[in-house]
Structure 1
Amino acid sequence: MGISEMAYKKLCVVFIIFALAIVQAVGYDTELHDPETCDGTACFDELHGALGDCSCNVDTIDYFNNVKIFPRVQSLVSKDYFRFYKVNLKKECPFWVDDSRCAMKYCHIKTCTKESVPGYENGYGDSEMEAPAAKYSAEAQTICNSDDHNPDLGYLNMTISAASQHEIAKWKVYDDAVENFCECDDRDADADYVDLSLNPERYTGYKGPSAHRIWRSIYQENCFRPKINPYYDSFPYVLSSDLGNMCLEKRVFYRAVSGLHTSINIHLCSKYLLSEKAVGFAAPPDGEWGPNLEEFQRRFDPSQTHGESSNWLKNLYFVYLLEMRALAKAGPYLEHEEYFTGSPTEDEETRHAIRNMLGVIYTFPDHFNESSMFNGGSQAASLKNEFRDHFRNISRIMDCVGCDKCKLWGKLQTQGLGTALKILFSSKWNSPESDPPQGKLPLIHKSHERLQRTEIVALFNAFARLSNSIRELENFRILLR
């Protein structure tokens, strides 16, 4: 009996040691491998209060987005009109030769045939803008009776020299460039339709010198900066302490780009490849994706970012306000778009969803105020041109991304932001009357000065990605607690 009791005690000791080992192992798995990069909720300690350069604060936007905007815009971009985006992913990088291509399967995208796009055969594609011209074709005209007029007296000289045609072509390029902040490539021969729902934005493994070169070129060569920071070689960003030395227009440019960058980083952290192998009967075939706390804190912990991360997160809210303001400004125009896909029921649901979301946006009390920018005669006009040219360069840098899926979402979100800037700062969208402090804004534009379909698709999807990032921040707050 004594031996049996001794054996029982030893068995209990072994069991306790084994249980402690399991607890320790589980505890290790739920902690960051490098505790120095994790300081509880340090990423959010300074993320509160006023944003600066506007009258809004973080808490107001959090509630407004997470409760009112996020569910609406996510539902909206799932509609057929917003699911299909036409883009040229085959353009060569115009700035440098880079053979670094992402070899992971998650970098590749699935394109659509034209026939698979809803409503394409009835005008969804490139022909939609050209269809009205058909009524002026030779086939559509009746033969004139020669007795009704004298063709010699009514002769119209349509001769234009080759030199004049070349100059006219340059005029059109200039006119387009004056109003556009991005290069649109949806009419390129190599452009393809992409179903965004089949190519979600998430971590692809694209990293290293090629990926770093993209953002370094954007910040070092295309962002306005008052001076070089002391960490310039490894830290190309503008320090928040230096932003006050920049004029409002240059500060807005930097904060918009920084906010876009922050949003993309949050997407990658929230949709990270946790396990490449499917485990279990119901596991997804392409692996397990979800939030990666360690990656989030590596990118946004103040100790890893020279204390700048809270300002980067505030810039996300700033660019969210900027794009929401563009939607409000163009709202009356967007409310009257057809959103044609060939399905009357789907199209009506889309129009209703647009009106519903815009109605909510009109009620926001603290819209971004662009009217205080680019005032001051020729100097302001010159700055505005520089502002636009810098952003066009950034849109062209997206063609240098070595991962097709990253390039797709980089080009879409850049075009979305560029479309917002076009609405805010193009004179064709301005009203001679002062805007009301809240609610629907007056619409002043000519019918032919419309947005292209790809611009509308990019505008709403880009705003949806910003909305998603703000919602994901709340998820990271909860997980970190």
Structure 2
Amino acid sequence: MWSPVQRVSLMSSTLFSSPSKIPVGIKAGSSNKYSKVANNTKELEDCEQANKLGAINSTLSNQSKEAFIDWARYDDSQDHFCELDDERSPAAQYVDLLLNPERYTGYKGSSAWRVWNSIYEENCFKPRSVYRPLNPLAPSRGEDDGESFYTWLEGLCLEKRVFYKLISGLHASINLHLCANYLLEETWGKPSWGPNLKEFKRRFDPVETKGEGPRRLKNLYFLYLIELRALSKVAPYFERSIVDLYTGNGEEDANTKTLLLNIFQDTKSFPMHFDEKSMFAGDKKGAKSLKEEFRLHFKNISRIMDCVGCDKCRLWGKLQTQGLGTALKILFSEKEIQKLPENSPSKGFQLTRQEIVALLNAFGRLSTSIRELQNFKVLLQHSR
């Protein structure tokens, strides 16, 4: 449980441009407005900056709002690797991702660490006696920091090692986005964003991270290969003539599907990305049990993301988590995908609109992370 002090900077962090556009279900006041901590000048300034930078632009046209209602009729549901939001909930809202880019918002410190600590500690099959390297919430481990952790990790089965690497890769990707789009300065109310080399080195430099940085980046590439593999595996689902990426605009729908199929074709041109058949390959009963445990752990991570106090951070964290969950769902549904009928609705395998949007945006974020990593390599060379 987060203490009230930790939550102060997270309360009422959304600032909307027009009160009339705030959905009724999410209107709320600032319950901590007069607390002692909230009136601390320095903390209040940091809080206000984090709230401002982390706010979501919820502007939508009336045409978009009407289209979303129509889209909902085209989505089916089944077991998922993530906790999907209820689009019919009064508190649900649609946002334009282009108006809400992922970047530094001021959400940091122990509050952010508690979220990631919960993700790692509660869901990565790890005993509490084993501590992750450089974890500020763990007791000091001295010179042994990291050695016992990786000894433990190598002793796990393949599936559990993969799980940890996926979460670590996701964490690394998100950190890269923040380093690449950092708030460099803010004058006259106009923020300036760009790469922060010092922040990048703090999170990924081999010396400053005691060797952890390169491991994190290796896990980022691993995650990229996993999602690339998922895109190539799910191609048959979208290649069917019955699949229509429905928005209500027939011409745009056709163009979107053509572009999507082009992406899938490109993924097939790469060599084998990852052999998921090596996972859950033991006895059927044990494999089924482990797969379900795998799914439930990942689903719980998507719930933990709901605890993120910064709106934009939560938006992108949940989107990328859901994208990875969708990728896993695809990889473990190969037989169902192969049996899909060409001209009739599929019952064995189905993707909701949420999952499709999350899958493509998550892969886009990973691709951007790797591009930004190359940019930082150039900056490092020039700084020497």
TM-score normalised per structure 1: 0.62
Report how many aligned residue pairs link the two structures. 323
Match of 1:193 in 2: 94
> What is the root-mean-square deviation in Å for CA atoms of aligned residues?
2.9
What SS is found at the alignment partner of 2:207? Answer: helix
Among 19, 44, 48, which residue is 1:103 paired with? 48
Which amino acid in structure 2 is aligned with residue 406 of structure 1? C
Measure the CA separation in 2 of the matches of 1:180 and 1:395.
11
Among 62, 80, 101, which residue is 1:115 paired with? 62
Which amino acid in structure 2 is aligned with residue 266 of structure 1? L
Among 317, 320, 324, which residue is 2:221 paired with? 317
Q: Point out where structure 1 has 5 or more consecutive residues left out of the alignment.
A: 1-87, 92-98, 131-174, 279-284, 433-440
Match of 2:73 in 1: 127
* Structure 1 position 413, deviation (Å): 0.5
Which has the higher relative contact order, 1 or 2, with Cα contacts under 8 A spaced 6 or more apart?
A: 1
Among 98, 111, 116, which residue is 1:215 paired with? 116
Which amino acid in structure 2 is aligned with residue 203 of structure 1? Y
Measure the CA separation in 1 of the matches of 2:132 and 2:276.
32
Measure the CA separation in 1 of the matches of 2:83 and 2:232.
24
Query: Does residue 355 of structure 1 match 2:261?
Result: yes
Match of 1:259 in 2: 169
Cα contact 2:324–2:362 (8 A) shared by 1: yes
244-253 or 233-242, larger mean C-alpha shift: 233-242
Cα contact 1:119–1:342 (8 A) shared by 2: no
Q: Point out where structure 2 has 5 or more consecutive residues left out of the alignment.
A: 1-24, 29-37, 139-145
Percentage identity across aligned positions? 52
Measure the CA separation in 2 of the matches of 1:378 and 1:102.
50
Cα contact 2:186–2:192 (8 A) shared by 1: yes
Cα contact 1:416–1:460 (8 A) shared by 2: yes
Measure the CA separation in 2 of the matches of 1:121 and 1:262.
33
* Structure 1 position 89, deviation (Å): 8.3
Match of 1:404 in 2: 311
Cα contact 1:240–1:311 (8 A) shared by 2: no
* Structure 1 position 327, deviation (Å): 1.1
Cα contact 2:133–2:212 (8 A) shared by 1: no
What SS is found at the alignment partner of 1:304? Answer: coil
Where do 1:383-402 residues align within 5 Å?
Answer: 383-402=290-309
* Structure 1 position 410, deviation (Å): 0.6
Among 357, 370, 379, which residue is 1:479 paired with? 379
Cα contact 1:89–1:407 (8 A) shared by 2: no
Greater gyration radius: 1
* Structure 1 position 430, deviation (Å): 2.3
Q: For each residue in 1:196-219, what CA deviation from the matched residue of structure 2 results, as whole angstroms up to 9, or x when unmatched?
A: 000000000001221110011111
Measure the CA separation in 2 of the matches of 1:288 and 1:209.
26
Q: 1:286 to 1:232 in 2, by over 3 A?
A: closer
Query: Does residue 327 of structure 1 match 2:327?
Result: no
101-110 or 400-409, larger mean C-alpha shift: 101-110
198-207 or 216-225, larger mean C-alpha shift: 216-225
Measure the CA separation in 1 of the matches of 2:171 and 2:27.
23
Measure the CA separation in 1 of the matches of 2:285 and 2:320.
31
Which amino acid in structure 2 is aligned with residue 368 of structure 1? F
Which amino acid in structure 2 is aligned with residue 351 of structure 1? K
What SS is found at the alignment partner of 1:287? Answer: strand
Cα contact 1:341–1:347 (8 A) shared by 2: yes
Match of 1:234 in 2: 136
Q: 1:405 to 1:230 in 2, by over 3 A?
A: closer
Measure the CA separation in 2 of the matches of 1:102 and 1:362.
47
Q: 1:121 to 1:355 in 2, by over 3 A?
A: closer
* Structure 1 position 235, deviation (Å): 6.9
* Structure 1 position 323, deviation (Å): 0.9
Q: 1:367 to 1:475 in 2, by over 3 A?
A: same
Q: For each residue in 1:293-320, what CA deviation from the matched residue of structure 2 results, as whole angstroms up to 9, or x when unmatched?
A: 0000000112232312111101001111
Measure the CA separation in 1 of the matches of 2:339 and 2:379.
44
Q: For each residue in 1:19-56, what CA deviation from the matched residue of structure 2 results, as whole angstroms up to 9, or x when unmatched?
A: xxxxxxxxxxxxxxxxxxxxxxxxxxxxxxxxxxxxxx
Cα contact 1:223–1:254 (8 A) shared by 2: yes
Which amino acid in structure 1 is aligned with residue 163 of structure 2? F
Q: 1:102 to 1:361 in 2, by over 3 A?
A: farther
Measure the CA separation in 2 of the matches of 1:478 and 1:381.
46
Q: 1:307 to 1:404 in 2, by over 3 A?
A: same
Which amino acid in structure 1 is aligned with residue 375 of structure 2? N
Cα contact 2:181–2:193 (8 A) shared by 1: yes
Q: 1:353 to 1:90 in 2, by over 3 A?
A: farther
Which amino acid in structure 1 is aligned with residue 289 of structure 2? S
Query: Does residue 270 of structure 1 match 2:180?
Result: yes
Query: Does residue 297 of structure 1 match 2:213?
Result: no
Which amino acid in structure 1 is aligned with residue 217 of structure 2? L
Match of 2:22 in 1: none
Measure the CA separation in 2 of the matches of 1:423 and 1:209.
35
Query: Does residue 247 of structure 1 match 2:130?
Result: no
Where do 1:79-94 residues align within 5 Å?
Answer: none
TM-score normalised per structure 2: 0.77
Match of 2:252 in 1: 346
Measure the CA separation in 1 of the matches of 2:249 and 2:96.
17
What SS is found at the alignment partner of 1:180? Answer: coil
Which amino acid in structure 2 is aligned with residue 361 of structure 1? T
Cα contact 1:89–1:399 (8 A) shared by 2: no
Q: 1:255 to 1:249 in 2, by over 3 A?
A: same
Cα contact 1:269–1:292 (8 A) shared by 2: yes
233-242 or 339-348, larger mean C-alpha shift: 233-242
* Structure 1 position 350, deviation (Å): 1.0
Q: 1:103 to 1:297 in 2, by over 3 A?
A: same
Among 272, 286, 306, which residue is 1:366 paired with? 272
Match of 2:353 in 1: 453
Measure the CA separation in 2 of the matches of 1:183 and 1:340.
23
What SS is found at the alignment partner of 1:330? Answer: helix
